[in-house]
Structure 1
């Protein structure tokens, strides 16, 4: 948490995804080290579908817990597993020191766009997972939210009803899918509050690396790229580093609307997000890597 020049103090959290190779792990760790200097409220690590994806997430989360002082949350999904199997995973993560989860249903096992069917004997949805997590321990739980509604929801009211079920079952906050039209988020948040949902709803901010990549991500999750963003980013194709201005200006506008808590999708890249923070006047709270445990000191102790 820090002060932004000319604005109220605000807080932020970061999302990382687990590296899939030794080479990727080196880049991931450099990004973690660089961004740890900004002292986020917490960081989260994504979790793919199915039991085969547990190991990379577990290894990444455990390393963060063992070797840094970052408050760390693990994503968790319910696809391809019974509730008992999911509970076993939860206990394994708890034994490793995990006290926070991002509870998600997950994508359909047959891929994005396929009809979702709960696993036989599994948790039906994310609301059921939140309830199951709270039955195991008093975990801190984040859940997802969709300003433009989940692609599979019949309409916005059904989508908000699901968010309310997650909140009623004990969710502590919601992290939104990335979006670019702040008017859409403001209208969504108004509907959420009218529905009696009082938990914090953190806007998910995606600093854009390039327009082609953004289009691919948006098509997968049902997010809209407004025409003004297409035009703006298209004009910056020869200067990709200038893309950080889009995210910075989005944050500044949301601050003017009274928002003071943000969740950043880092894509395991530190330079772009640091450029956003520089534009916002956010300075590192400590030296790079100072959030990392000093193994020699621990051994000496």
Structure 2
């Protein structure tokens, strides 16, 4: 199913994000994870696109395997990084030939060693340009884009960031998937501002369950995401106990997701980090059971 067809019937849709592993043992662990998570019938599984386009072919390969072997819709992440327009179109053609009908269109992070994003000669600079390119050459594709409840780290202010999101939607995006956040107030405010700006497509909150405090601290600092004081205090008190961190993090995610569902979100996008236990616990607690 294409992203453009989701969220229309009033049903709630889960989705899960994974990344390409670095070795064969990682591949085996990932597919054990996916075999467990697809029992909960996610609308799609999305696969990231490595820094600098380093996993661009692997992204297509994994998406193809997810669809052909696990019989679950896949969404391929796609960035502007280090590619000309022709190279971008070639990659899209490869994805289309592999049966991929959904793209998560992102500008991408600057390559390692670069402080700011510099487009390739003959390439694209902004995600809205990438969305427009997809619409021009592959109009049938479902397209998701990123939204930032706490503002993109490179944006000077919330108004500029929202204007950038509006350009992506106006270029042809079907849905917005947000960066991770831990304070639902940020999501509520972001959604209201989107509506006021005339953004009418579905806005899907992105949730990353906490399973390891130090790891999530590093990730949230990269995203400029506020970490609630009370949650920080609980996790700091069990810094040497990974099992306790897992329990605290999962309990927090369950309550966060339930509040979002009660508030009428059309779906939740889970950043699974290639592991299943936290997501399984959350899905079950929210009333989504194995098929």
Relative to the length of structure 2, the TM-score reads 0.91
For 2:6, the equivalent position in structure 1 comes to: none
Distance 2:97 2:199 in 1: 32
Give 1:119's aligned residue.
120
Runs of 4+ in 1 over 6 A off after TM superposition: none
Alignment partner, residue 155 of structure 1: 157
Q: Do the aligned partners of 2:64 and 2:98 also contact (CA within 8 Å) in 1?
A: yes
- In the alignment, does 2:94 pair up with 1:92? yes
Deviation, structure 1 residue 108: 0.8
1:192 aligned partner:
194
8 A Cα contact 2:212 2:246, kept in partner: no
Q: State the SS of the aligned residue for 2:192.
A: helix
SS in 2 for 1:37: helix
Greater relative contact order (CA < 8 Å, ≥ 6 in sequence): 1
Match of residue 130 from structure 1: 131
Q: What's 2:45 paired with? A: 43
Q: What is the rounded CA distance, in whole Å, between the counterparts of 2:17 and 2:216 in structure 1? A: 17
Match of 1:260 in 2: 266
Aligned-pair CA distance for 1:186:
0.4
Deviation at 1:54, TM superposition (A): 1.4
Deviation at 1:71, TM superposition (A): 0.9
CA distance in 2, matches of 1:123, 1:149: 22
SS of match in other structure, 2:60: helix
Tell me the equivalent position of 1:296.
Answer: none
Deviation at 1:264, TM superposition (A): 0.5
Return closer, same or farther for 1:60/1:223 CA change in 2, 3 Å cut-off.
same
Offset at residue 9 of structure 1 (A): 6.0
Question: Post-superposition shift, 1:123?
Answer: 1.4
Query: 1:195 & 1:217 partners in 2: Cα distance?
Result: 29
CA-CA distance at 1:272 after TM superposition: 1.1
Residues 247, 22 of structure 1: alpha-carbon distance in 2 compared, 3 angstrom cutoff: same
Tell me, in whole angstroms, the C-alpha distance in 2 between the residues paired with 1:88 and 1:158.
Answer: 32
Equivalenced residues, count: 277
- Give the aligned partner of residue 250 of structure 2: 244
Residue deviations 1:146-187 (CA, integer Å, cap 9, x gap): 000000011001101011001001000010000011111101
Distance in 1 separating the partners of 2:151 and 2:262: 24
Say whether the 8 Å CA contact 1:205–1:265 is kept in structure 2.
yes
Q: CA deviation at 1:109?
A: 1.7
8 Å CA contact retained: 2:52, 2:110 = no
Unaligned runs of 5+ in 2: 1-9
